[in-house]
Copies of this chain bind each other. A is one copy, B any other.
Amino acid sequence: MTYYGSIEAGGTKFFCAVADEQLNIIERINLPTRSPKVTLDEVFAFFDTYPLIALGIGSFGPIDVNSKSSTYGYITSTPKPGWQNIDLLGSLKERYQVPVAWTTDVNAAAYGEMHLGAGKDTESCIYLTVGTGVGGGAVVNGTVLQGFSHPEMGHISVQRYPGDTVESACPYHDNCLEGLAAGPALEKRTGIKGQLLEATHDIWEIEAFYIAQALMNYTLTLSPEKIILGGGVMKQTQLFPKIRASLERQLGGYVALPVLEDYIVGCDLGDNSGTMGCLLLAKEKCEIKSDEFVS
């Protein structure tokens, strides 16, 4: 039997799964992210019982995705203590000696949703997660988007909502999307945790403004066929119509957009976007008999 492995490596949890040839999930485990040594030992213990033929990793970052770099496969400058300069890809390749696909958690989620979820009828999409942080990945012409590095869409600069003077929650930027629209910024403004805020609270207008502004800028830059929104904050589904309306206002009729109800949507795969993306990438990595395998 054929087994593919998936690792969604997050700063809080590692989600690991094993699936069969048809990508049916056979077993899965969620591990709290501790030190690299402890967590990797737990990851190995989970996968060691399966004769994997390929593995897909979608990791928190920033990570090095440049295959010519000496630190290719590393988690690089993350603020997560103990995880700077960790050769995550190398550790997995050494252990299992199989092809391993390597990208960001959000690129993997974009890939999963594009092939099996909300973006099934497209060749390009953006996946944006809004939660304790904001992260974005993309697929262009059917391939995850990577260039000199990977997208870091959560940190684009945004104009302030009129009168919004809250201090940015991002240590790097006074006015970036993550700093003004992720969970911590909601709590800073209201004193209430995001998940406890009522659906009718005024804060959601402000939140929609920032997310819509970012989606407008992504749209004008990338022109994706679909934008898929996930993450804890997006469980506040009253945000979707507000975001669509705000995007329309901010764009001012400059370009014709697709029908917004089809263009800006939630995840179809629920919390499985990343896992399914990793499994798909693993399967493809295997099929193309990648250089990874012989290297």
Q: Does A81 lie at the interface of the complex (its beta carbon under 8 Å from any beta carbon of B)?
A: no
**A147, B257: Cα distance in complex, Å:** 11
Assess the B124–A147 pair: CB atoms within 8 A.
yes
Copies of this chain in the oligomer: 2
Q: Does A159 lie at the interface of the complex (its beta carbon under 8 Å from any beta carbon of B)?
A: yes
Assess the B220–A155 pair: CB atoms within 8 A.
yes
Assess the A250–B220 pair: CB atoms within 8 A.
no
Assess the B152–A254 pair: CB atoms within 8 A.
yes
Q: Does A158 lie at the interface of the complex (its beta carbon under 8 Å from any beta carbon of B)?
A: yes
Write out the residue numbers on chain B whose beta carbons fall within 8 Å of the beta carbon of A253: 172
Q: Does A146 lie at the interface of the complex (its beta carbon under 8 Å from any beta carbon of B)?
A: yes
Q: Does A33 lie at the interface of the complex (its beta carbon under 8 Å from any beta carbon of B)?
A: no
Write out the residue numbers on chain B whose beta carbons fall within 8 Å of the beta carbon of A145: 140, 222-223
**Segment 234-252 of A: residues with Cβ below 8 Å from B:** 250-252
Q: Does A156 lie at the interface of the complex (its beta carbon under 8 Å from any beta carbon of B)?
A: yes
Write out the residue numbers on chain B whose beta carbons fall within 8 Å of the beta carbon of A172: 251-254
Q: Within the complex, which residue of B148, B150, B175 is in contact with A225, where a contact is CB–CB below 8 Å?
A: B148
Q: Contact residue range for chain A?
A: 35 or more
In the complex, what's the smallest C-beta–C-beta distance from A229 to chain B, in angstroms? 16
**A249, B173: Cα distance in complex, Å:** 10
**Segment 141-176 of A: residues with Cβ below 8 Å from B:** 141, 143, 145-153, 155-160, 172-173, 175
Assess the B213–A157 pair: CB atoms within 8 A.
yes
In the complex, what's the smallest C-beta–C-beta distance from A184 to chain B, in angstroms? 17
Assess the B140–A147 pair: CB atoms within 8 A.
yes
Q: Does A39 lie at the interface of the complex (its beta carbon under 8 Å from any beta carbon of B)?
A: no
**A263, B153: Cα distance in complex, Å:** 19
Assess the B220–A153 pair: CB atoms within 8 A.
yes
Assess the A223–B155 pair: CB atoms within 8 A.
no
Q: A141-B141, A153-B221 are in contact. List 10 more A-B contacts (CB 8 A).
A: A62-B256, A148-B223, A148-B225, A149-B223, A149-B256, A151-B222, A155-B220, A155-B255, A217-B221, A218-B221
5 closest A-B pairs (Cβ-Cβ)?
A: A147-B223, A172-B252, A172-B254, A156-B217, A124-B147
